[in-house]
Structures are given as C-alpha cells and as structure tokens.
Amino acid sequence: MEREKVIEVKNLMASFDGLRVLTDVSFTAYQGEVTVILGSSGCGKSTVLKHLLGLYPINMGYAQVLGQDITALTEKEQKELYLKMGVFYQNGALLNSMTVGENVALPLKQHSLLPDTLITEIVYMKLGLVNMQDAFHMYPSQLSGGMLKRAALARAIVMDPPILFCDEPGAGLDPISLQSLDELIVNLKEQLGMSVILVTHEVSSIMRVANRIVYLEQGRVAFEGSLKQALSSEISSVKQFFSVLYEGDDLRK
Ligand SMILES: Nc1ncnc2c1ncn2[C@@H]1O[C@H](COP(=O)(O)OP(=O)(O)O)[C@@H](O)[C@H]1O
Ligand SMILES: [Mg+2]
C-alpha cells in the first residue's frame, strides 16, 4: 500500500533582502512518521517550516499539506488547514500571567465553541499525555525547563492536530528531560497516529524518534530517505553529521 503523503514540497525557493536562502527545496513527509529536518545553523530549516505554516508566503515553488495546495487557499480554507497544524516553537513560550491549564486551554477557547467544563476535561487529558496533570494550577514561573516544554507540547496538541511541527523543541534541555520529551513525541505518533515534522540537532533524539531524514545544505535537499539510509549515506555532510555516533563508540572501547 502506498504511504499517504502529509507534506509535499516542490522546488521551494526563498530569498530575504535579495539574499537566496532556499534555492530549490523538494521533499515529502508521510503520515504517521517523524520526519527530521537537519542541516547546519542558518541553512533555512525554520524558513521551510514558516512557509509551510503560512507565516511566509510561497512566491516560488509548490507545497501541499494534508492534500491541499497551500499556494492556492482561500482565507477560510487557510484558517481551517492551520487549525490542523500544531506548532511547538523553540522557546515554546507560555503566557506567564496564566496558569498552565489556562495556557493549554487557550487554543480551544479561541477556536472552538466548547463549554468550559469540557475544555477543562480536554486540558486535563492533554496534560496527562505529557505527564503534567499535577501542574494544571501552577504558573509557568514555577516549572522547570523540561516541564515548560511539556506544557508547551500539551498546548500544541490540544486541538488534536494531525500534523505537529516542532522547531528545536529540545534546545537547552538536559539529557534526561530531552529523552522524556522524545518519548512523548514517539507516543504522540504511535498512540495518536500524529505525523511529526521535527527540526533538531540532537543526534541522540534523532536516533530515538526519526523515521525519515531530510538534510538541507546550501539551500537544497542534499539527502532524503529513511533513518537507516541516512546512517549509511555516502553524502559527506550527512556522513559527517552521524559520525559523532561512531566516535562516541570508539571512546568506549
Ligand atoms: N524574516 C527574515 N528576514 C531576513 N532574513 C531571514 C528571515 N528569516 C530567515 N532569514 C535568514 O535566512 C537564513 C536561514 O534562517 P533559518 O531558516 O532561521 O535557519 P535555521 O533554522 O536553519 O537555523 C538566515 O540567514 C536568516 O538570517
Ligand atoms: Mg531555526
């Protein structure tokens, strides 16, 4: 059976102030997989996500999300589509003046007509998914870095988006918190069938969560394929990125 495509990008090009950032980016992400977008700092990973999220207009190229051509959406279609796309940013900022529960409830209050009692129930359930039920009445300032990330993740999935975009979600986390965040991402995929587009530099995370790798280099996709294919790729940048794994191995010998 052919796998269902959740994202298809073709020949995406982008420039800022006359400077070309994306020359020709094409890749596919599939339903129920974690697709990791890799590449050195400043190579355009966040720029690709922002185009998919409708934050930057697509002037050159084509992109399809959940079967819809995002370069040709009416305003209404655009709103509906973006509600199906959860986003978890690097600084996953929660509003400090609100409790964790209120923060997570916010998208439901803004975009649904559900009664408050039901919203509270849904928020408890989502906080449960990220092991944060006890933090419902706490304020962001009372949480550790790892807890803040998990609360932000609960907010990103509160509308049950079929696709979740995560831009460097693990940045700044200690290895243990990072591992628990990775496990949550895998759970979302396995238990809820969510498709995840993840930008990360953490090799340990990639080994734990990735199904598919898209490697950006000089404005193009230098490699696209399964994690297994990436690990045995002969493309020098990809090889170099994963070589850390083998160096670590050598140290232990
Ligand atoms: N809105 C913008 N205005 C000007 N330059 C931008 C803008 N967004 C991104 N860029 C530039 O595009 C390049 C890629 O940025 P980014 O996508 O954030 O890289 P990455 O996420 O891979 O680290 C950088 O040189 C950045 O300065
Ligand atoms: Mg970035």
Ligand 1 atom, smallest distance to 40 CA: 22
pLDDT reading at 92 higher than 70: no
- Does some domain include residue 150? yes
Q: List, for residues 128-185, the tens digit of each pLDDT value.
A: 999 999 999 999 999 998 999 999 999 999 999 999 999 999 888 899 999 999 999 9
pLDDT reading at 253 higher than 60: no
Query: DSSP secondary-structure letter at 162?
Result: S
Nearest protein CA to atom 16 of ligand 1, as residue: 44
Ligand 1 atom, smallest distance to 17 CA: 4
- Does some domain include residue 232? yes
Query: DSSP secondary-structure letter at 94?
Result: P
Separation between Cα atoms, residue 188 and residue 88, nearest integer Å: 13
**Are 187 and 236 members of one domain?**
yes
pTM score: 0.93
Q: Which one of 20, 21, 199 would you pick to mutate in the ligand 1 pocket, going by the greatest count of ligand atoms within 8 A of its CB?
A: 21
- Does some domain include residue 213? yes
Asked if residues 216 and 37 have their Cβ atoms less than 8 Å apart, the reply is yes
Average pLDDT across the chain, whole number:
93
Ligand 1: list residues with CB < 6 Å.
16, 21, 39, 41-47
pLDDT reading at 56 higher than 90: yes
Ligand 1 atom, smallest distance to 41 CA: 23
- Does some domain include residue 89? no
From 128, 145, 160, the end of a domain falls on: 160
Q: List, for residues 17-34, the tens digit of each pLDDT value.
A: 999 999 999 999 999 999
Q: Which one of 47, 55, 221 would you pick to mutate in the ligand 1 pocket, going by the greatest count of ligand atoms within 8 A of its CB?
A: 47
37 vs 76, 158, 200, CA distance in Å? 29, 24, 7
**Are 167 and 221 members of one domain?**
yes
- Residue 147 backbone phi and psi in degrees, to 5: -65, -40
Q: List, for residues 118-144, the tens digit of each pLDDT value.
A: 999 999 999 999 999 999 999 999 999
Q: List, for residues 41-54, the tens digit of each pLDDT value.
A: 999 999 999 999 99
Q: Considering its fold, how many domains does the chain have in total?
A: 2
